[in-house]
Structure 1
Amino acid sequence: MTDTLRRGYAPSRFGQLHYVECGTGKPVLMLHQTPRSWTEYLDVLPRVGAVHRAIAMDTLGFGASAKPAEPHSIERWADAADDLIEELGLEEFHLVGHHTGGVIAVELAARHGKRVSSLFLSATPFIDDEKRRTVNQRKPVDHVVPSPDGSHLLELWNLRRPFYKDGEEAALNRFMVDALTVLDRVEEGHVAVRGSMMDQRLPLVTARTLAVCASEDHFSMPGLEKFADAGCETLVIPGGHVPVPEQLPEEFSRHILDWVAAG
């Protein structure tokens, strides 16, 4: 397993996009959840990079990528990813998306057709009319009000603490860094997901598609059956929760590599 990570910036119509890559070979582009960054794949990149050119980008508006003032949407995030794909010269590639990243990946796969060799959707919410109708009824996920005494930091930590086991504080620290970077707009990403037209874009995807979910991620597990009904293959990863790429990087990477190799 190689551990050489290469950082880069690519120009886009929205500003610079930050990405990190590892390895050589056919590209595997990885897209993170909200409100994270490429560090969600910190331990996955070198494992996938041992076989492929593994690339994890910071979604437009997150991490070290440009942060335009315009509202977030799945389509704008996909537009930015399109620019990165073209700038890096990715003629054919595999796509991996976790949570929000999976919704973006569906949009990209619908756009790029046969250029996308396979699609790996991890804990991706299945967005349909019901989700769109209830977008204004959803409870905030990461919203906290900044306080002069800094108590909002502990509040944010405690909101996500249940997703992580004892001993996984380093991963939770990475979440905190990412969330605090976009704290003034931290809920916009979740709203953008709920407003997407993913269910209408999924039938346009021609790539082999696998939808996976960690067994303890009760937020995303109900969507797995809907992906199965839509014709996707499905898989449950035992033991993980929302941050499964960080909790079980070896298993997560193995499932990616197995799926990529299957075609």
Structure 2
Amino acid sequence: MAKTMRRGYAPSPFGQLHYVECGSGEPVLMLHQTPRSWAEFAEVLPLVGREHRAIAMDTVGFGASAKPEGPHSIERFADGVEAMANALELDTFHLVGHHTGGVVAVEVAARLRDRVSGLLLSATSFVDAAKREAAAGRPAVDHVDPKPDGSHLVELWNRRRGFYQVGEEAALTRYVIDALTVLDRVEEGHEAVYRYRMEERLAHITAPVLAVCAPDDHYSLPSLEKFKAALGCETAVLPGGHVPVPEQLPGEFAEVIARWVSRSRR
């Protein structure tokens, strides 16, 4: 039976934050990658919502959430997540973060500690001194300069074309839409990741942690062993997929979430 998707807005110090939820029961809050929106979990939500209250929010500065001035940071993104959790009266909740969302989830779990019942890090970069140093000269990930003839739209498409299989153009189109929504600040989420001092926050996490990654996501796959060494957590390689694995394998991704929530109940 299809689950009804419910949209809403929650107050925050930055303005209103947009979210979509589905189902009822134990809350599972999902955080997207940069420069995406809740739509990254559009097919995952109703599957997790069969047994839980599945919530996907738009990070501060992205999607339909408030877009405050000033530099973004992982700490600011986490402020938004905390405001969302408080507005929705989530006394305790399970937290799922994908790519940038995973880095934000680390900060949230370090702050809220026992309010986070379980932490699932999907394709999350392990950000340490070596990662920050390597990022200093990296090329832009998603930035394109607008062109009068619109050719920047094709450039934006091609930035991530290699992550998607033939037949997954609808998912790639959703990426382009999300990126265009924040085109003038599209790199800031990536920049925030590489400034974050994650290694100073890991010891504050009290929730059980599972770190997973798609086998073709060579950007994040090496981080699994680093999280395992730092946190003593479980790790798993998903059965397929690349950077956009929640859209490529929504059923498998939702099943991983459901199993982890069941195991990490307090």
Q: How does 1:14-25 map to 2 (within 5 A)?
A: 14-25=14-25
* Residue 200 (structure 1) shift: 1.5
> 2:254: which partner in 1?
253
> 2:129: which partner in 1?
129
> 1:109: which partner in 2?
109
Whole-angstrom CA distance in 2 between matches of 1:207 and 1:15: 29
Whole-angstrom CA distance in 2 between matches of 1:176 and 1:149: 17
TM-score (norm 1): 0.98
Three-state SS of the structure 1 residue aligned to 2:46 is helix
> 2:233: which partner in 1?
232
Residue identity matched to 1:33: Q
Partner deviation per Cα, 1:128-151 (whole Å, 9 max, x = no partner): 011122332122111111100000
Q: Once structures 1 and 2 are overlaid, which stretch shifts more, 136-145 or 97-106?
A: 136-145
Three-state SS of the structure 1 residue aligned to 2:136 is helix
| Structure 1 residues without counterparts, runs of 5 or longer | none
TM-score (norm 2): 0.97
Q: Indicate conservation of the 8 Å contact 1:48/1:253, yes or no.
A: yes
> 1:163: which partner in 2?
163
Q: Indicate conservation of the 8 Å contact 1:135/1:195, yes or no.
A: no
Three-state SS of the structure 2 residue aligned to 1:137 is coil
Whole-angstrom CA distance in 2 between matches of 1:126 and 1:76: 19
> 2:142: which partner in 1?
142
- 1:48 pairs with 2:53: no
| Structure 2 residues without counterparts, runs of 5 or longer | none
Whole-angstrom CA distance in 2 between matches of 1:136 and 1:220: 18
Whole-angstrom CA distance in 1 between matches of 2:135 and 2:219: 15
Q: How does 1:77-116 map to 2 (within 5 A)?
A: 77-116=77-116
* Residue 187 (structure 1) shift: 0.7
Whole-angstrom CA distance in 2 between matches of 1:93 and 1:205: 14
Residue identity matched to 1:134: A
Residue identity matched to 2:141: V
Whole-angstrom CA distance in 2 between matches of 1:166 and 1:3: 29
Q: Indicate conservation of the 8 Å contact 1:26/1:93, yes or no.
A: yes
Q: Once structures 1 and 2 are overlaid, which stretch shifts more, 48-57 or 195-204?
A: 195-204
Three-state SS of the structure 2 residue aligned to 1:215 is coil
Residue identity matched to 1:13: P
How many residues get paired? 263
Whole-angstrom CA distance in 2 between matches of 1:170 and 1:186: 20
Q: Indicate conservation of the 8 Å contact 1:47/1:253, yes or no.
A: yes
Three-state SS of the structure 1 residue aligned to 2:14 is coil
> 2:32: which partner in 1?
32
Whole-angstrom CA distance in 2 between matches of 1:124 and 1:102: 5
Whole-angstrom CA distance in 2 between matches of 1:189 and 1:32: 11
> 2:186: which partner in 1?
186
Three-state SS of the structure 1 residue aligned to 2:222 is helix
Q: Once structures 1 and 2 are overlaid, which stretch shifts more, 127-136 or 151-160?
A: 127-136
RMSD: 0.8
Three-state SS of the structure 2 residue aligned to 1:82 is helix
Q: Once structures 1 and 2 are overlaid, which stretch shifts more, 243-252 or 227-236?
A: 227-236
* Residue 197 (structure 1) shift: 1.4
Whole-angstrom CA distance in 1 between matches of 2:252 and 2:47: 10
Three-state SS of the structure 2 residue aligned to 1:221 is coil
Partner deviation per Cα, 1:173-219 (whole Å, 9 max, x = no partner): 10000000111111111010011111221121110100000000011
Whole-angstrom CA distance in 2 between matches of 1:216 and 1:134: 21
Three-state SS of the structure 2 residue aligned to 1:90 is coil
